[in-house]
Structure 1
């Protein structure tokens, strides 16, 4: 019996809608095709001049691919990337992310094409089809750059090694080249750029995050103030200072317009002190809570066992009950009292569970 594919619900819906809409769009264009006209489906894909009466196309057009090559790439990307991110964030947060990185890049691309038409008076701009999963694909790369910023991908048997934050710009370069072929339209470049900016802005400033269980941070923390997720990290080292200076000026403008809120010192300290705040593995928060609960129960069980197994501990109420009570029993009475009088803290240090607790924390880090 073949193994069952374990696909989270939102990813499953995403793949189903992508296949359904792409096949439907292809079938309609195939039936109406002619050598003298270009067929568009204005009620399913976004065409600036024709889709104004179909506002839902600002979302549905993202899950429409116009050829088998881009459909195959989209399917593989959404399957692997969607499964990982949905399990890492939860289905609700993943669905919100998909809506943001679909709607906003499509709307911005629509405005750019209309602006080009206004300047050039060339209807080709407003008849360009805005469609495809390009905003989702580059948004997944941005999300991976946040989750695993130090991860290095080795290609061609070690000939080329790249850190994950380098892939969004490489993807934009690949899309730019493919716009020169019939596979992608000229709108694809704008979709890639706006997808990068939108997804980074949402993850940097707005997405709800899960605080570390050891910290006292509120559960309503938003954004990621870590330096490893700064916008300049997407660029090569020599141009990082220039990009950082430019993005700082844009950020100041957005703060003045009250679109973005500057990070507080507490947010920066939390991001620096908790490097795994945003980068826990899928299900990591729940697994961490279960692990710590099991550890606390183990410590409590050991202390209760030591208390009930030590008669000396019950006969001397002034001696604190500790897991190493049998050690006190094996020593002569005068030496025991002298040790307790001179170094009470050393006995407590020997009997608590901190060494095992520290070992577990080192394993986590």
Structure 2
């Protein structure tokens, strides 16, 4: 019992050390967002919550004309009234800074946070505006406030799916991957609303944040120095967020919606280009498959493969191929057995060299 408690304590300390290191080495954007979030939380301790919410949070009836309080679209994520929500917001930003920012860069990270922040707030406000139109209940316009990092956290799960989606989480016997976090976040938010632990604004911000992040990354994010925008790979389609058993009907619906948006010029049609005049094989170029992104995915796959091979080598104590057999062993073998053993060893070496060459070429 004591050893288990000690092991858990060491794991927590190690995770806190990783977070502290990531925050220390993070960019100005990461530090500014975390600092602003903590600052406004401690401010909420000394300021009346109602005043803070009316001033900085998004109110559906006030964010649109004639009031047009557009500044709240950028200030609402920094308003937190509970310490655990502030901690979750800081963790999400730090994790995104550790895994996503090295791939995207500081400027793209700032653009992503801004788009998800504004997009989730506008989408949630429109949803509540339609609810008011259907119910005529003025509560949904002026007594509802959207605030906190909920939308940004939900958007972060989409960014992590794109960058490290195939990485497995340490969840014990149940296999959960990073790409599954977005859907789990939605399900958990709905359950929390049904049991009365959160208000209706929470699942609304979660869904809106995921949609805003996915639409931007799918269709509009600039891919490096090329003219390609978005990630049109099948691994990042809308249906890929769901279990495989329900993907076909969801793909039909999402493709229908995408086709409608293409017709009204909101989205661009996916174009495939075939270079049949290439000297080697046919070259296929797809929107969203930037060479830099493909190289990044290849490096991630090689890294995961090397880690698995390292774990296998540590678990199995294989004899070294460089070790020379003892004289007594050679003397005890007949000449034909020696020749067979030498031939087998040569074949193993050749197989290892071919395997290494195949891995490099892949």
Q: Same fold (TM over 0.5)?
A: yes
- Residues 262 and 269 in structure 2, CA contact (< 8 A), matched pair in contact too: yes
- Residues 10 and 86 in structure 1, CA contact (< 8 A), matched pair in contact too: no
- 1:99 alignment partner, one of 114, 134, 139: 114
SS in 2 for 1:269: strand
Distance 2:357 2:27 in 1: 31
Alpha-carbon distance change, 273 to 78 in structure 1, aligned in 2, over 3 angstroms: closer
Show the counterpart of 1:208.
Answer: 222
SS in 1 for 2:176: strand
Q: Deviations over 1:274-302 (max 9, x none)?
A: 697436669x8xxxxxxxxxxxxxxxxxx
Alpha-carbon distance change, 272 to 149 in structure 1, aligned in 2, over 3 angstroms: farther
Shift of 1:58: 1.0
Shift of 1:177: 2.4
Which structure carries more helix by proportion?
Answer: 2
Shift of 1:84: 2.3
User: Which 4+ runs in 1 deviate beyond 2 A?
Assistant: 21-27, 38-41, 48-54, 148-154, 177-185, 266-282, 358-365
Distance 1:257 1:243 in 2: 21
Distance 1:273 1:230 in 2: 12
Alpha-carbon distance change, 9 to 122 in structure 1, aligned in 2, over 3 angstroms: same
Aligned residues: 275
Q: Does 1:42 align with 2:49?
A: no
Q: Deviations over 1:227-253 (max 9, x none)?
A: 111111110111000000000000011
SS in 1 for 2:56: coil
TM-score by length of 1: 0.67
- 2:204 alignment partner, one of 190, 194, 208: 190
The more displaced of 250-259 and 20-29 is 20-29
Show the counterpart of 1:346.
Answer: none
Unaligned runs of 5+ in 2: 1-19, 275-282, 300-352
- 2:157 alignment partner, one of 127, 141, 149: 141
- Residues 149 and 229 in structure 1, CA contact (< 8 A), matched pair in contact too: no
Residues 30-179 of structure 1: pairs in structure 2 closer than 5 A: 41-50=53-62, 52-126=67-141, 127-155=143-171, 157=172, 159-179=173-193
Alpha-carbon distance change, 68 to 264 in structure 1, aligned in 2, over 3 angstroms: same
Distance 1:39 1:177 in 2: 30
- How much is the aligned-residue C-alpha RMSD, in angstroms? 3.1
Distance 2:40 2:32 in 1: 12
Alpha-carbon distance change, 89 to 82 in structure 1, aligned in 2, over 3 angstroms: same
Q: Does 1:243 align with 2:255?
A: no
Shift of 1:104: 1.1
Shift of 1:63: 2.4
TM-score by length of 2: 0.68
Distance 2:168 2:361 in 1: 20
The more displaced of 218-227 and 91-100 is 218-227
- Residues 11 and 83 in structure 1, CA contact (< 8 A), matched pair in contact too: no
